[in-house]
Structure 1
């Protein structure tokens, strides 16, 4: 499974949001959709379509508030 090296923002809720993808690390697997070795076209493609965990996460900013996904649920309840 291919993975990425990324930069992003770390929020107070603990989530890391990617702001920039720096580089893709190719797994060289013919059954990985993101690999350059994947056949195109791939008949009845049921190959792995997702990236694995990031190879490296560089935090470029830290925000004390909740991330955009958590804020609607938890941000308004905070007192």
Structure 2
């Protein structure tokens, strides 16, 4: 599975949101859709389409508030 090196923001809820993808690390697996060795076209493609865990996460900012996904949930719970 290919993976990425990223930069992002760490939120108070604990989530890390990617703001910039710096580099892709190729797994060289022909059954990984993101690899340069993946066949194109791939007949009946059932290959893995997702990236693995980030190889490195560089936190460029820390915010005390909730991330955009958590904010609506926690704002409703406070009412």
What is the TM-score with the length of structure 2 in the denominator?
0.96
Deviation readout 1:12-57 (Å, 9 max, x if unpaired):
0000000000000000000000000000000000000000000000
**Corresponding residue for residue 66 of structure 1:** 66
What is the TM-score with the length of structure 1 in the denominator?
0.96
Runs of 4+ in 1 over 3 A off after TM superposition: 75-79
| Structure 1 alignment gaps of length 5 or more | none
Change (3 A) 1:8 1:70: same
| Structure 2 alignment gaps of length 5 or more | none
How many residues matched?
A: 79
